[in-house]
Amino acid sequence: MFLKRKHPIDYGRAKVRQEILIRQRRELWTPEQVKSLACHFRLRPGKSLLDVGCGFGYALRTWGRYCLPGGTLVGLDRDKRLLSTAKRLCRREGLADCSEFVQGDVYTLPFSANRFHTTLAHVVFCHLDKPERALDEMIRVTRRGGCVVVFDNALGDGMPTGWYSWSKPTVRQLLLDYEFNLRWQRGRRKLGRGDMSVGCYIPGWMEARDMRDVGVRMNERVRWMAPPYRSPEQRTQRQSALERNRERVRWDRLDKREKELVKAGGLSRRKYLRREARARVLHRAWRKELRDRTASFAGSSPFWCIWGFKP
């Protein structure tokens, strides 16, 4: 939907966006899957780990723990403000003595060759115009026998998997949604804003570079909500939905960035307006079901973890 969100969640404030992003990252992987992936990456105490495009340092703090004690954790990002926040969060979690943060670019990593035991990038490649170049840099700074890890979206050209009690689309509406998604992705590629399908290509890129023991896992998280919302997870999902329900919607202010992407992808104005009209109807139905405590949904989107070992 194209929404202009107001109180109580002010997306215009940097601190609010930061808190939301941190929460989203924490919900991506279950504790069991985090531990399993650490085994696949062969993380051990005393090893070094580089988080490329670290942002707030979620991946560094999550998997870096498996390199302790004795390990070295390095986070790299081009934004000084993000690095400052990552440093503060590491300090809060007792990782200040073993972590350091460097400002730099993913295409020209400021490190010598064969330096790190493990190099990872978490939700970075989907924003890059030249992701293969970034992968080559990650491989360069990784030691022989070390692990290169990429977490990212693998939407392909399809739609995320989901069901919503307030939406019963016709075949025509489904086809329009599918075309919208295709045009949106095509627009991102055309404007050089990345590719949400990039996870699909990374295993092949690693194989083409003679990486060993290439592996892939999909995120196992499924977001869902159903009355009577008994469990803590259900209550959390409902509370989140209620917060969004209270946000003011300004349908007269469409998301300019979204419009730019689908236009670049070739979606006609007529189809764009038709989908926008349907979005309004769905939003009203969603608000009503939330008020009536009948709202249900279940959904997920392909998010992959891909890794390989440098020969």
The tens digit of pLDDT for each residue in 42-72 reads 999 999 999 999 988 999 999 999 999 999 9
Distance CA 176, CA 267 (A): 10
Distance CA 208, CA 285 (A): 49
Residue by residue, pLDDT tens for the chain (311 residues) are 233 333 344 444 455 445 555 555 666 788 899 999 999 999 999 999 999 999 889 999 999 999 999 999 999 999 998 899 899 999 999 999 999 999 999 999 999 999 999 999 999 999 999 999 999 999 999 999 999 999 999 987 667 788 999 999 999 999 999 999 999 999 999 999 999 999 999 999 999 999 999 999 998 888 889 999 998 888 878 887 877 666 555 544 556 777 888 899 999 999 988 998 898 899 899 989 998 999 999 988 788 999 999 99
Confirm if 251 and 280 have CB atoms less than 8 A apart. yes
Distance CA 258, CA 153 (A): 18
Dihedral Cα 202, 204, 208, 209, nearest 10 deg: 30
- The encoded tokens of residue 248 equal 């003011």
Q: Which helix (H) or strand (E) holds 60?
A: helix 58-64
The tens digit of pLDDT for each residue in 102-120 reads 999 999 999 999 999 999 9
Q: Cβ contacts of residue 165 below 8 Å, gap of 6+? A: 289, 294, 295, 296, 297
What burial letters (b/e) apply to 177-195, b meaning 16+ CB within 10 Å?
eebbbbbbbbbbbeeebbb
Residue 8, preceding bond cis, omega within 30 degrees? yes
pLDDT of residue 106: 96
pLDDT of residue 48: 98
Tell me what percent of the residues of the chain surpass a pLDDT of 70. Answer: 87
pLDDT of residue 308: 98
Distance CA 12, CA 16 (A): 8
Strand, helix or coil for residue 217: strand
For residue 193, the 8-state DSSP code is S
Strands 72-77 and 48-52: parallel
Confirm if 54 and 79 have CB atoms less than 8 A apart. no
Domains of the chain: 14-156+194-223+302-309 (3.40.50.150), 161-184+226-300 (no CATH)
Distance CA 245, CA 241 (A): 6
Find, among 106, 105, 87, the residue nearest to 96 by Cα: 87
